[in-house]
Amino acid sequence: MCRSNEPLLSSPSKGNASQCKPMSLVITLSFAALLCGAAALFLLNLAAPDLCVGSPDRPSCQSIITDAVLSSRRSKPSRPADVLHAIIARSLVQHDAAAAAVAGMHGRSIDPRNRSALADCVQLMDLARDRRLTDASAPDDARTWLSAVLTDYATCMDDLDDGPLRDAVGARLEPLKSLTSASLAVLNAVRSGRKRSAGDVVAEVFDMFPLWVPARDRAILEAAGAVTAADVVVAKDGSGNFTTVKEAVDAAPDGGKSRYVIYVKKGVYKENIEVGRKKRELMIVGDGMDATVITGSRNKVDGSTTFNSATLAVAGDGIILQDLRIENTAGPEKHQAVALRVSADRAVVHRCRVDGYQDTLYAHSLRQFYRDTTVSGTVDFVFGDAAAVLQGCTLAARLPMRGQRNAVTAQGREDPNQNTGTSVQACRVVPAPDLVGADVATFLGRPWKAYSRTVFMQSYLAEHIDAKGWLEWDGEFAFKMTLFYGEYQNEGPGAGTDGRVRWPGYHVITDRSVAMQFTVGQFIEGGNWLNGTGVDYNEGL
């Protein structure tokens, strides 16, 4: 028989009397395969403009589709679902090469700041690869994974200083960002029904959306005492299983499929904690936001990257944080200093207090829900590129450094096909006690990246909100055309819209159906995974 690793048109061995196949048949089959490939390519060249209709760079998207078809090792793609698989397969190969190159740069770097930033890049590349390999059980899952991959690549660049090193990393990552952007465009084109006749990826690729969260979570959250349902207890006085939260997290099982509960008794825990991507389905429960305090002070001025400055950083999917206070005490003069970073999907933060100054809450990526939680800070104190809904929360602006202006949000969506954004619903946006009476301008947000998307809905906006409402990132720039900022049915002395900015991307929302797009039910598909958590939520308006 022919060896499986022989090329199709290889010459048969002279010492073998029986040839694998007659040469004429081989040539005929090869020619037929070429014709089929050419036909598929012709059809996809016709379809590419429609598949790329929502891409921010249509020529690049169309070129990527053509290249993916030509380089596919499978039978030649002829449907959008096949195209998506081909692009992702190609991007995995390029991703691994880029990740190895970045790891090499990290190993050779001697500059402490760039070395720290490259260490973040290595971690982010690992997260991005995990997302590419994660099975998607619904179209919204796939869009979430791809959106997060794009965010991971962008974050890698954020803390690198301008110069040759940043250029070298960018040369590796920009092609990957283009591949991911094209994948999002193809997926969204099919999801919106533009190319259903050419193959419905919704039906062909995905199964039913699962109900992720088990009912046990509600029982845990409703238990009279968290300790009664906890798997382990953390206590500073030694009365539990561990004396630090980090020890308890590190000891939790990897790859968990059922809820694992860590109960943290009251006390002040001075530590920096990372819940890694393998620590899934964890629940960390304290004795109350004023009783159980996790505190740290890492910051940009003293050498940390923004990404790595978090007091508590979470990458494990399915995390629930409840009845905790998480703070970064670095102070406004230390600039970027994150208290809580969430890079996890299906994350819930309930009845917590998150305190800091600049960059307090880093809602980094994936789907997140915040309920009955207080977040305080100064500059961009709710920022990132997650699909995040804050409901029933308090957002308190603090007194910044002299000459600074406060911005409640700084959303970082880079691509119009990402499902990311920040939705603030039924919240209170108020000044902290130290800001009351101070002559400091406070804005609802400013656009961190080109397609920044933020809405404030049905919320109370206090008098400290500037009449303009929204602030430019850095002077005049084009993001005003591509961002989406909206306000819907807000109230309070800072809610008037007559004096708001007149940017093309700013909207006073009057259509209820538009506002519905930013609710728990539609924006983060919360009805499918918040059921059973024990956390109150309003799925609609």
Active site residues: 380
User: What whole-number distance in Å separates Cα of residue 287 and Cα of residue 367?
Assistant: 26
User: What whole-number distance in Å separates Cα of residue 118 and Cα of residue 481?
Assistant: 33
- Which pair of tokens denotes residue 213? 């969260």
Strand order in the sheet with 484-488: 232-234, 260-264, 282-285, 320-322, 347-350, 367-371, 387-391, 421-425, 453-457, 484-488, 506-508
User: What whole-number distance in Å separates Cα of residue 77 and Cα of residue 530?
Assistant: 37
Determine the Cα angle at 64 with ends 163 and 185, to 5°: 95
Tell me the CA distances in angstroms from 350 to 234, 321, 354, 397, one per residue in order.
19, 6, 11, 20
Q: Sign of torsion, CA 215 422 162 329?
A: negative
- Residue 526 · residue 388 · CB < 8 Å: no
Backbone phi and psi for residue 13, each to the nearest 5 degrees, phi listed first:
-65, 140
Q: Sign of torsion, CA 351 353 359 364?
A: negative
User: What whole-number distance in Å separates Cα of residue 194 and Cα of residue 49?
Assistant: 11
User: What whole-number distance in Å separates Cα of residue 64 and Cα of residue 83?
Assistant: 10
Side chain identity at residue 533, one-letter code: T
- Residue 463 · residue 448 · CB < 8 Å: no
CA-closest candidate to residue 376, choices 442, 426, 305: 442
User: What whole-number distance in Å separates Cα of residue 249 and Cα of residue 290?
Assistant: 21
Determine the Cα angle at 203 with ends 198 and 204, to 5°: 70
Q: How many alpha carbons fall within 13 Å on the CB side of residue 75?
A: 7
At residue 514, the 3 state secondary structure works out as helix
Q: Tokens 């400013």 identify what position?
A: 446
CA-closest candidate to residue 384, choices 292, 476, 314, 334: 314
User: What whole-number distance in Å separates Cα of residue 396 and Cα of residue 464?
Assistant: 10
User: What whole-number distance in Å separates Cα of residue 266 and Cα of residue 533?
Assistant: 23
Backbone phi and psi for residue 340, each to the nearest 5 degrees, phi listed first:
-130, 125
Strand (E) or helix (H) holding 307: none
DSSP character at residue 418:
-
- Residue 135 · residue 144 · CB < 8 Å: no
Strand (E) or helix (H) holding 491: none
For helices 58-71 and 80-108, the axis angle rounded to 10 degrees is 100
